[in-house]
Structure 1
């Protein structure tokens, strides 16, 4: 199938659809840094594109079988102001897209719509906004199905998102959901890495670039064991402090055991334990209400800022690198290398990963989309 990539970002939809055998015939993205990455990563020379969907006329779009878009979520996300997608300035761009479809003759409308957004879209404004979305799609001729999918099924990142598939009435399209994944490696690729950590200073993947995030040194600040506790072994009770991450994190190491980190959080026990390969969320380090700071073998949901760290095997804590955040979204290393070589800063690379969709999730959906 041919597809349009709207609100394209760095092309998570593009890559996932392409891996499933579909062809991009046009893309729209307004952010200049995201456009810079998109053009570096994807083969889009000569492909129709625009920077602002609000200034595009429907007649300008290339004919496509599917329109892909994850419209802006700042007005819907629990981390935002939650104005709703009808009242919010950014999220109401959904209606800009449906308005363009209204302006097309029915024969020129896409057979599929593939839409992504935050899980909160289901419940914001007591579910009325999601009802309005369904009504709008119904009025322009689409039956819809949807599912909440967690990226942790295919990459080591817990990231729940709602995916909505619109099927134009009167054409033969294939039902997509449910998608059942019993094997987390089912959508892994030989040129991508389903791993949370890389070693400091190690070159990765295509191209030669160095991991920039320096680890924090850990120092012993006390011992919580007595001579009669832990079998009389003082090693087990050693408590370490970390500088440069957060005052709420301390590190403990048991004798002969792997390094562990005690992370304070608002639970009955008051802390959680992080081990090698776990992620540690250090956003709002002095908060008395935060829970779930430790991701056991999986990262918390990526955001547009770098708020997560990991424990190394030499008892150091360091931030995730930009490369690791892109890996957590399922991008192959060569894609990151192209964006890096295009001159993108670390802050932009972190932001772009946090704003993207998870590539293997898109591929899993796109594999099931075909015209019958």
Structure 2
């Protein structure tokens, strides 16, 4: 019986529809963050420098390594100065140093043309690299005064201690990498939830429209189909999440961020602060676990709706606001901000526990009603 229910869910027409939907969604919302990572300059230069640092410094940067990094910055400044001093156009304008170039009068048209030529037409690497390094040096110099991207929140002794700990942990993991992954996983999980809604919405509605419920409710075996159908939906969702995450991480591997997997995501150079000492690899594992859990939770929600609504139009009308809330709030707190310091340290545990409890309660209540429901329903 379970196998038959699986075949009904995984029919070729629905799978084809799902494939087309996933294909369109990918090119509309996901492809950009794969295709253009890092996106532009100085992001490309910052990523290249981060790779150099990882090979030179390892997972963290201590004071001596910071001095070496600052020395390389000073050397790039000298290189930029020599470049300007060799350019007749720059010398004629009295521009012989990097600081004169970037801090000069913005109203000077000739100076603006020179800047555009150096940065954009010629794309001289050293000038972009200086910008990238300068951003990191400024973040490092002010690391004791930062909240690391945390919005206004009530700062307790625990949060102060955690912020101080991060300021001294030496990690230089970048928001360039973290934000890219968070954006990708958010849309991927949303795609998973939408796909689950497409696959499981017909679960009970199709039988009701075909008048099969009259046969089902007339026998004990038929009434037990609720559990079989739900089990089939959960198995389908598990497979769906697995396939979609496999495709996602296959594509994500092309971003070449695996070198940073062992770095602490909480750093002076990242806008995210975790309550826990999570490496980037551990954070990825946590988001994968969250994706599976949310997938199973939304499977039960869709199955529950399918068992009580009369037709497809009704279930779509109910799911639209649910998906809006999911994208706006659920993914924000349950994927993007997992373990973030602006949320209570126990938020992750309690919120998922409540969600699971509510979902189990929905199953139990509906199953009890299925056993007692009148055949004229």
With normalisation by structure 2, the TM-score equals 0.22
Which structure has more strand as a fraction of its residues?
1
Q: Which has the larger radius of gyration?
A: 2
With normalisation by structure 1, the TM-score equals 0.22
Which gives a bigger RCO, structure 1 or 2 (Cα 8 Å, sep 6+)? 2
